[in-house]
Amino acid sequence: MTLDLLAVFIGSSLRLAVPLLLAGTGELVSERAGVLNMSIEGMMLTGAFAAAVGAWATGSPLLGLLICVIAVFPVALLQAVLSNTLRANQIVTGIGINILVLGATTLAYREIFGARSREQIPGLSKWSPPLLGDIPIFGEAVFHQVWLLYAGLAIIVLTALVLRYTSIGIVIHAAGAEPRAVDKSGVSVPWVRYLGVIFAGFMSALAGAFLSIGDIHTFTEGMTRGAGYLAIAGVIFGKWTVGGTVLACLLFGAATALQFQLPTLGIDVPNALLIMLPYLLALLAVGGLAGRQTAPRALGVPYLRR
């Protein structure tokens, strides 16, 4: 592998990992607080759709991003109400929301774009950080990326710091591990969990926007193709830590990048095998490569005050 190809590979791995990184970090916070959010898949799809429509209608990708975040909020709120206030089965509600969103976005897409499908949509601009962008070969291929990537990385770092060093982090962690203790200390468990789910919604919205107006500048029906589930697998593989989740998502991103990279190297591997590679890797990851799993103790269990 030449240096050029290596640089392209690293660059595209990073780019393909971004949606997983963002959604995975959101999911991590929500799971730490005790809510298993299968609906990040649907939230990402909502985000991808709303960002595309918003950017197309206003001509401004930035407004598209704003519209995207606003559009995902009700979806996140629905998941939060169902899993906290109504104490519904979180897996069932998540899957229901995903089916609903897949149907609704497909329907709305056909209504709005109809025959004009696959239209180019104004996308977010690219940016190179100073110094890093000037490195020969790597500067252009690795660091010249959509600015949302850098903003996203900053949010992820911030999330890690908040989780680790602040009282907010302790409360989030406790809401998923010892909800009764949180309640006794006078903090409302459902309140913490609502915020966790809404944060996951916010991050999934960014992830979806990155897919549509950040990466390929268009929307296709069901374009998330299970990226949300990969992000959840990333959280499990990363043992519910920010660092672990980030590494897992980068790994899945690299596995996805291989399908574009190997053919250029003249290595003949069936395309389908490469496409399934991230899912296969995720399955191996959740199936024991990570060792015994240490999920938050109250994960998926709605809190009931006695």
Partner 1 sequence: MTDTMASVTKSLHGVLRPSVMISVAAVLAAALLGVALIFAMGVSVLDAVAAFVDGTIGTPYAVAASINRSIAFALVGIGFVIGNRANLVNVGGEGQIAMGGIAATAVALYGHVAGLPAGLPFLIPLLAAAIAGLLWASVAGVLKIKAGTNEVISTLLLSFIAVWFLYWCVQSPELLRKPMTSSATLPESLEIPDPTKLPLLTGDYSFPLHIGLPVTVIIAIIAAIVLAKTVFGLQLRAVGFNPIAASRAGISYSRMVLVSLAAAGALGGLAGGFMLLGDQYVLKDGFSSGYGFDGLVAGLLARGSVMGVIAAALLFGFLRSGGINMEMVAGVPTALVMVIQGLIVVTLAGAAFFIGGRRT
Q: By CB under 8 A, is residue 189 in contact with partner 1?
A: no
Determine if 98 is a binding residue for partner 1 (CB under 8 A): yes
Contact call for residue 279 and partner 1 (CB under 8 A): yes
CB 234 within 8 A of CB 282: yes
Residue 92 touches partner 1, criterion: CB under 8 A: yes
Closest distance of CB 174 from partner 1, Å: 22
Cβ atoms of 37 and 167 closer than 8 Å: no
Determine the Cα–Cα distance for residues 141 and 136; give it in Å rounded to an integer.
9
In eight-state DSSP terms, residue 157 is: H
* Pairing mode of beta strands 126-127, 145-146: antiparallel
CB 128 to partner 1: min, Å: 35
Residue 188: HSE in the Cβ half-sphere, 13 Å Cα cutoff: 7
Size of the site for partner 1 (CB under 8 A): 45
- Does 82 sit near partner 1 (CB under 8 A)? yes
> Does residue 286 bind partner 1 (CB under 8 A)?
yes
Contacts to partner 1 from residues 198-257, by CB under 8 A = 226, 229, 232-233, 236
In this structure, what token pair is assigned to residue 293?
């799993």
Whole-angstrom CA distances from 92 to 23, 38, 72, 87, 98 are 19, 8, 19, 11, 10
Footprint of partner 1 on 9-38 (CB under 8 A):
38
Q: Which residues contact 67 (CB under 8 A, 6 or more apart)?
A: 50, 51, 53, 54, 58
59 binds partner 1 (CB under 8 A): no
Smallest gap from Cβ 18 to partner 1, in A, equals 20
Q: Give yes or no for residue 267 binding partner 1 (CB under 8 A).
A: no
Chain centroid to CA 184: how far? 33
Give me 230's structure tokens: 């990969």
**Residue 74 binds partner 1, judged by CB under 8 A:** no
Q: Taking the CA atoms of 150, 154, 159 and 160 in sequence, report the sign of the dihedral they define.
A: positive
Nearer to partner 1, 63 or 91 (CB): 91
Tokens of 172: 């989030």
d(CA 89, CA 203): 23
Based on the shown chain and the rule CB under 8 A, indicate whether residue 102 belongs to the binding site for partner 1.
Answer: yes
Nearer to partner 1, 36 or 195 (CB): 36
Considering beta carbons, is residue 205 or 285 the nearer one to partner 1?
285
Give the footprint of partner 1 on residues 35-54 (CB under 8 A).
38
Decide: 181 and 301 in contact? Cβ < 8 Å: no
User: Is residue 117 within the footprint of partner 1 (CB under 8 A)?
Assistant: no
Nearer to partner 1, 148 or 236 (CB): 236
Length of the chain: 306
φ and ψ at residue 206, rounded to 5 degrees: -60, -40
One of 116, 270, 305, 306 touching partner 1 (CB under 8 A): 270
Q: Which is nearer to partner 1, 96 or 201 (CB)?
A: 96
The residues of the shown chain that bind partner 1, judged by CB under 8 A, are 38, 78, 81-82, 86-89, 91-93, 95-104, 106-107, 110-111, 226, 229, 232-233, 236, 270-273, 275-276, 279-280, 282-283, 286-288, 292-293
